């Protein structure tokens, strides 16, 4: 982790240059420009709100569009960071063959690029909070922590996925499918309280209920999304019981993921 932070600082100018290049290439000749960055979460929020009107989801009196958009902000940031991070090495093949610098710069740059779009999404959320008359409390100071945690989770997957994708291009095809499935396993469409009610209160899975709940919270996005919603909309502190399993799992895997990437990068120029 310290080495990643050091590389972020040492190569900050290169990361800034690559980030600018990524943004320019992504939105070049696009009529709506960077507005495309916010259309995805906005459209998903509208679709989920329509679906909620049919199936009925308990939100504890909070506006469903607001809590859904608060969930989509970390989710879309994570999803886009992983998708581009996994493809970041293969999409820079020409640069890799010409000059050497730490290859982890590519997944890092893919993630930093998404920070720009994340800032725009926060602007939209602020407008929605004003509309629904939701005032942020002191718990909103948790948000930078959750953003940082989301970055760590995205990098954990990106390092391993980017290295594997150099040797097996199936990884790039499998990632979108895996992320789509993971979204349904995260409290994006429904609140975490609904899962807690079914498994911990009503014990819908019998004696396996608590085990299933623990397995569910191993997904780091569960604690992150619920934390976003609690800190920004619910004005309460994060649910640490939902946060710890995914946090422990992430920081256990990150060193292995980074080690695997550094070991594999020696042959990137030969294989890519």
pLDDT attached to residue 102: 81
Q: Enter the pTM of the model.
A: 0.90
Gap between the Cα atoms of 39 and 179, Å rounded: 19
For 194, what's the count of Cα atoms within 13 Å in the CB-facing half-sphere?
13
Angstrom distance (rounded) from CA 221 to CA 164 = 23
| Contact (Cβ atoms closer than 8 angstroms) between residue 36 and residue 30 | yes
What is the structure's pLDDT at 248? 96
The Cα–Cα gap between 45 and 189 comes to 9
CA 19, CA 114: separation in Å to the nearest integer? 9
As a whole number of angstroms, the distance between CA 56 and CA 99 comes to: 56
Alpha-carbon distance 17 to 240, whole Å?
38
**Contact residues for 145 (Cβ-Cβ < 8 A; gap 6+):** none
Q: Kindly state the tokens that stand for 264.
A: 């594999």
- The torsion angles phi and psi of 64, rounded to 5 degrees, stand at -60, -45
The DSSP element (H or E) to which 169 belongs, if any, is: none
- Residue 120: CB partners within 8 Å, gap ≥ 6? 34, 37, 38
By CB atoms closer than 10 A (0-12, 13-18, 19+), residue 228 is buried
Residue by residue, pLDDT tens for the chain (272 residues) are 667 677 777 778 888 888 888 877 777 766 766 677 778 788 888 888 888 777 777 777 888 889 999 999 999 999 999 999 999 988 888 888 777 778 888 898 888 888 888 888 898 899 999 999 988 899 999 999 999 999 999 999 999 999 999 999 899 889 999 999 999 999 998 889 989 999 999 988 888 999 999 999 999 999 999 999 999 988 899 999 999 999 999 999 999 999 999 899 888 877 77
Q: Which residue has the tokens 């997904």?
A: 219
Q: What is the rounded end-to-end Cα distance, in angstroms, of the chain?
A: 26
CA dist., res. 87 & res. 162, Å (int): 6
Q: DSSP letter for 58, please.
A: -
Give the CA distances from residue 218 to residues 162, 195, 263, in Å, rounded to whole numbers and listed in that order.
23, 14, 27
Supply the pLDDT for residue 130: 93
- Helix, strand, coil share of the chain (percent; to 5): 80, 0, 20
């Amino acid at each position: 982790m310290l080495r990643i932070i050091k590389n972020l600082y040492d190569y900050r100018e290169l990361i800034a240059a690559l980030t600018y290049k990524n943004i320019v290439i992504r939105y070049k000749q696009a009529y709506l420009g960077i507005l495309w960055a916010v259309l995805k979460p906005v459209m998903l929020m509208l679709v989920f709100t329509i679906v909620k009107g049919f199936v009925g989801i308990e939100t504890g009196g909070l506006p469903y569009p607001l809590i859904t958009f608060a969930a989509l902000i970390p989710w879309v940031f994570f999803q886009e960071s992983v998708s581009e991070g996994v493809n970041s090495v293969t999409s820079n093949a020409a640069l890799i063959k010409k000059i050497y610098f730490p290859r982890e710069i590519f997944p890092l740059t893919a993630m930093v690029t998404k920070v720009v779009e994340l800032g725009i999404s926060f602007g939209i959320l602020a407008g929605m909070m004003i509309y629904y008359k939701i005032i942020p409390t002191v718990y909103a100071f948790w948000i930078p922590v959750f953003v940082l945690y989301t970055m760590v989770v995205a990098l954990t997957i990106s390092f391993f996925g980017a290295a594997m994708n150099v040797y097996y291009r199936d990884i790039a095809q499998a990632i979108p499918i895996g992320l789509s499935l993971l979204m349904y396993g995260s409290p994006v469409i429904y609140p975490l309280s609904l899962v807690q009610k079914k498994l911990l209160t009503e014990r819908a899975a019998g004696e396996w209920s608590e085990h299933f709940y623990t397995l569910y919270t191993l997904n780091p996005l569960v604690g992150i999304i619920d934390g976003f919603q609690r800190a920004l909309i619910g004005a309460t502190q994060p649910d640490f019981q939902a946060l710890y399993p995914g946090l422990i799992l992430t920081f256990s895997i990150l060193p292995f993921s980074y080690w695997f990437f550094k070991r594999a990068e020696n042959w990137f120029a030969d294989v890519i």
